């Protein structure tokens, strides 16, 4: 059983009856009773999909999760206390049509920006949890995302807590905040380093998609790097690489499995096993 | 310089210079005294130069720093430092000639110098992969930074890089993690670090070498999260609006000084660094000397703490 959690190629269809929860209001799964899988195109009964952690029971495809749903799946029930919930960008460059775009995302997601941070318990262990929401401007990093991550790591240092990051940042650093988004790579890396020098544990879970400035900063600087099956992980976007090299990309390029096979990921963990895996790893590092 | 590339906005200057030359020849051939007219034109020409070069927009500055004659890192190193001894390889995978590094003397004292290196012509550019480093380039930089720390040498970086190379092998060898590690290592060094953005400051590939206690920038250089061409593609679905994107992104030295992303602008010779590389180097030397002596007075702990604070406040959002 315990060994099973660390199988390198877990089957993704496993449903654990004891972990069934009520996954109502799943905004990332379209309304209606039936859902089509993005990968295998099978028509799935929505309730089944929700029971299987939003993993396709037919092909194992991991649907993108909202930050709220993520927290629900990972944090112990009622243990999550959000931090810095009200931070909002000041649109530092006055970038054309940025605020309109941002407002739209804010209204859709009920979030101020692309990250939620807070204190949580995972398997009973107090942890600082940072979850990036890919649905919010592709989880790109701006001044708010950077600020909240830095504050979360600083809180973890002060309270001597481990940090778990669930990344998702397909957009990398957010263009609309220009060089100040770039500077968030610097700030988050240094905050991670401070946490590391305090001897504290940092686990990153790389999920669909972790690219550019997010991957090239805090997301790849963890003590333990996990990834969800099939997640796109890399520095440069696949289209840019194709254009630059003028050749087609290898099969499965930049998927979690590919990046794992090239030595950059400790373990690929299917979503139904994620909470237990995190809980065990955290338990082994309790001081 | 004979066959210097002339940029669009420089054409009025070149026209006027041509007229002055023609007038001089005419005067000599006819044995006429036209010195008043020639002087007048010369004064007008000097004023025109000052006017044009002092009011360049972002896109024009980008063209200046992409000028084929702009001094590359090796040329600048040669003019700024003495006895540069280059060291190769990351001791993990290989040697990346798009990134150079080594020990040199600055005012008689050893420092570690690291810089991405563009080629000066097509052949050199192919050899140096157009100055676009692979992970092994960043890992060489990391190795040399740690070496500098061990021996108490300041680390000076000269940054002119379009970006880290976007390629299959680069991804396979961990371009993202290599950059993240370079940011972390340079940002945590217990020796003085000074970064000088000398040309193109292209996103993460530049930031990896720009974690300075002090970040200086040549007047015409730019530093951006994304190239204006790519921004144009995202915003307008084509690269025809790079000029507007360049303005919107606020990437010039003046913009960045205002945002405290950089600490100081190093002025360039009139018309850009390539018009007078020696003068350029002297201006860099002066700034480097001044900043280095301030940093040398700090303890290891102060260097690390003040660097953390320097970056901690960038884009920080006031407590709510």
Mean per-residue pLDDT, A111-123: 97
Per-domain boundaries in chain A: 64-284
Is residue A50 within 8 Å of A21, Cβ to Cβ? no
Please check whether residue B1 touches A, CB under 8 A.
Answer: no
Q: What are the angstrom distances between the C-alpha of A219 and each of A171, A200, B141, B237, B276?
A: 13, 16, 21, 29, 43
- Indicate whether A25 pLDDT > 70: no
Q: Do A190 and B311 touch (CB under 8 A)?
A: yes
Please report residues of B whose CB lies closer than 8 A to that of A146: 315
Please check whether residue B204 touches A, CB under 8 A.
Answer: yes
Q: H or E stretch including A128? A: strand A125-132
pLDDT in tens, chain B (320 residues): 445 789 999 999 999 999 999 999 999 998 888 889 899 999 999 999 999 998 999 999 999 999 999 999 999 999 999 999 999 999 999 999 999 999 999 999 999 999 999 999 999 999 999 999 999 999 999 999 999 999 999 999 999 999 999 999 999 999 999 999 999 999 999 999 999 999 999 999 999 999 999 999 999 999 999 999 889 888 888 889 999 999 999 999 999 999 999 999 999 999 999 999 999 999 999 999 999 999 999 999 999 999 999 999 998 886 54
Q: Do A186 and B315 touch (CB under 8 A)?
A: no
pTM: 0.92
- Give the domain A64-284 fold: 2-enoyl-CoA Hydratase; Chain A, domain 1 (3.90.226)
- Rounded CA separation B80/A26 (Å): 61
Q: Do B251 and A213 touch (CB under 8 A)?
A: no
Radius of gyration of chain A (CA): 18
Of B157, B160, B201, B200, residue with least CA distance to B182: B157
pLDDT in tens, A188-205: 999 999 999 999 999 999
Task: Please tell me the predicted confidence (pLDDT) of residue A29.
Answer: 60
From the candidates B129, B159, B168, B201, which should be mutated to test the interface with A, based on the most A CB atoms within 10 A?
B168
From the candidates B225, B259, B319, which should be mutated to test the interface with A, based on the most A CB atoms within 10 A?
B225
Q: Which residues of B259-283 are buried (b: 16+ CB within 10 A; e: fewer)?
A: bebbbebbebbebbbbbbbeebbeb
Side-chain-side CA neighbours of residue A221 (13 Å): 29
Q: Do A179 and B184 touch (CB under 8 A)?
A: no
- Rounded CA separation A91/A95 (Å): 7
- Rounded CA separation B21/B15 (Å): 10
Which residues lie across from B111 on neighbouring strands?
B104
Q: Is B23 exposed, middle or buried (0-12, 13-18, 19+ CB in 10 A)?
A: middle
Is residue B186 within 8 Å of B211, Cβ to Cβ? yes
Domains and CATH numbers, chain B: 62-312 (3.90.226.10)
Task: Please tell me the predicted confidence (pLDDT) of residue A24.
Answer: 41
- Rounded CA separation B307/B217 (Å): 17
Q: Is A103 helix (H, G, I), strand (E, B) or coil?
A: helix
- Phi and psi at residue A187, in whole multiples of 5°? -65, -45
- Phi and psi at residue A75, in whole multiples of 5°? -80, 145
- Rounded CA separation B39/B20 (Å): 9
Task: Please tell me the predicted confidence (pLDDT) of residue A41.
Answer: 93
Task: Please tell me the predicted confidence (pLDDT) of residue A30.
Answer: 63
Q: Do B251 and A150 touch (CB under 8 A)?
A: no
Residues listed for chain A: 287
Residue pairs between chains A and B whose CB atoms are closer than 8 Å: 172
Task: Please tell me the predicted confidence (pLDDT) of residue A236.
Answer: 94
Closest CA in chain B for residue A217: B180
User: Confidence band (pLDDT; 50, 70, 90) for A28?
Assistant: low
Q: Do A236 and B166 touch (CB under 8 A)?
A: yes
Q: Do A180 and B311 touch (CB under 8 A)?
A: no
Q: Which residues contact A273 (CB under 8 A, 6 or more apart)?
A: A5, A10, A14
**Percentage of residues in chain A with pLDDT exceeding 90?**
81
Please report residues of A whose CB lies closer than 8 A to that of B307: 190
Is residue A164 within 8 Å of A127, Cβ to Cβ? yes
- Rounded CA separation A10/B182 (Å): 34
- Rounded CA separation A87/A108 (Å): 17
Is residue B219 within 8 Å of B267, Cβ to Cβ? yes
pLDDT in tens, A227-240: 999 999 999 999 88
Which residues lie across from B196 on neighbouring strands?
B158, B216
Mean per-residue pLDDT, A63-80: 95
Of B289, B292, B282, B291, residue with least CA distance to B71: B282
Of A50, A238, A205, A185, residue with least CA distance to A131: A205
pLDDT in tens, A237-270: 998 898 888 889 999 999 999 999 999 999 999 9
């Amino acid at each position: 059983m315990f060994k099973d959690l660390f199988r390198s190629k877990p089957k993704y269809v496993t449903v654990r009856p004891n972990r069934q929860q009520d996954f109502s209001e799943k905004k990332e799964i379209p309304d209606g009773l039936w859902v089509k899988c993005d990968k295998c195109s099978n028509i799935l009964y929505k309730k089944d999909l929700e029971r299987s952690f939003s993993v396709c029971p037919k092909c194992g495809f991991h649907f993108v999760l909202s930050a709220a749903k993520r927290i629900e799946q990972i944090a112990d029930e009622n243990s999550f206390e959000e931090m810095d919930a009200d931070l909002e960008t000041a649109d530092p460059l006055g970038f054309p049509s940025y605020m309109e775009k941002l407002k739209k995302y804010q209204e859709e997601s009920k979030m101020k920006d692309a990250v939620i941070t807070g204190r949580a318990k995972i398997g009973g262990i107090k942890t600082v949890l940072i979850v990036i929401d890919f649905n919010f401007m592709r989880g790109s990093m701006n001044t708010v995302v950077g600020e909240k991550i830095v504050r979360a790591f600083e809180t973890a240092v002060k309270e001597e807590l481990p940090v778990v990051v669930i990344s998702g940042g397909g957009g990398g650093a957010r263009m609309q905040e220009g060089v100040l988004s770039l500077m968030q790579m610097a700030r988050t890396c240094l905050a991670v380093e401070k946490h590391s020098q305090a001897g504290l544990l940092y686990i990153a879970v790389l999920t669909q998609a972790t690219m550019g400035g997010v991957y090239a900063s805090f997301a790849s600087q963890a003590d333990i790097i996990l990834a969800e099956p099939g997640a796109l992980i890399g520095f440069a976007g696949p289209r840019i690489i194709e254009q630059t090299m003028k050749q087609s990309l290898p099969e499965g390029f930049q998927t979690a499995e590919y990046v794992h096979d090239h030595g950059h990921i400790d373990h690929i963990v299917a979503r139904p096993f994620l909470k237990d895996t995190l809980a065990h790893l955290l338990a082994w590092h309790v001081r | 310089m004979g066959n210097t590339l002339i940029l669009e906005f420089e054409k009025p200057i070149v026209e006027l210079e041509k007229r002055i030359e023609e007038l001089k020849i005419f005067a000599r051939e006819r044995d006429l005294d036209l010195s008043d007219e020639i002087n007048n034109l010369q004064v007008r020409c000097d004023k025109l130069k000052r006017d044009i070069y002092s009011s360049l927009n972002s896109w024009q500055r980008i063209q200046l720093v992409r000028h084929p004659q702009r001094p590359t890192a090796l040329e600048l190193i040669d003019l700024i430092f003495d006895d540069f001894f280059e060291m190769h390889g990351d001791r993990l995978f290989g040697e990346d000639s798009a990134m150079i590094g080594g020990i040199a003397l600055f005012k008689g004292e050893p420092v570690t110098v690291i810089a991405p290196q563009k080629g000066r012509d097509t052949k050199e550019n192919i050899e140096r992969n157009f100055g676009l480093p692979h992970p092994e380039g960043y890992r060489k930089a990391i190795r040399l930074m740690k070496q500098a720390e061990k021996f108490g040498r300041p680390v000076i970086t000269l940054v002119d890089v379009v970006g880290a190379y976007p390629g299959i092998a680069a991804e396979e060898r961990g371009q993202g993690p290599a950059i993240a590690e370079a940011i972390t290592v340079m940002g945590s060094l217990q020796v003085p670090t000074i970064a000088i953005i000398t040309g193109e400051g292209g996103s993460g590939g530049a930031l990896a070498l720009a974690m300075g206690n002090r970040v200086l920038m040549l007047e015409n250089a730019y530093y951006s999260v994304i190239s204006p061409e790519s921004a144009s593609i995202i915003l307008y679905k084509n690269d025809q609006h790079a000029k507007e994107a360049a303005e919107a992104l606020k990437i010039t030295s003046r913009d960045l000084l205002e945002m405290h992303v950089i600490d100081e602008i190093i002025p360039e010779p009139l018309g850009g660094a390539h018009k007078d590389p020696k003068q350029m180097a002297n201006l860099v030397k002066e700034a480097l000397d001044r900043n280095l002596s301030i940093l040398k007075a700090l303890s290891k702990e102060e260097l690390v703490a003040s660097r953390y604070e320097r970056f901690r406040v960038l884009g920080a959002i006031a407590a709510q």
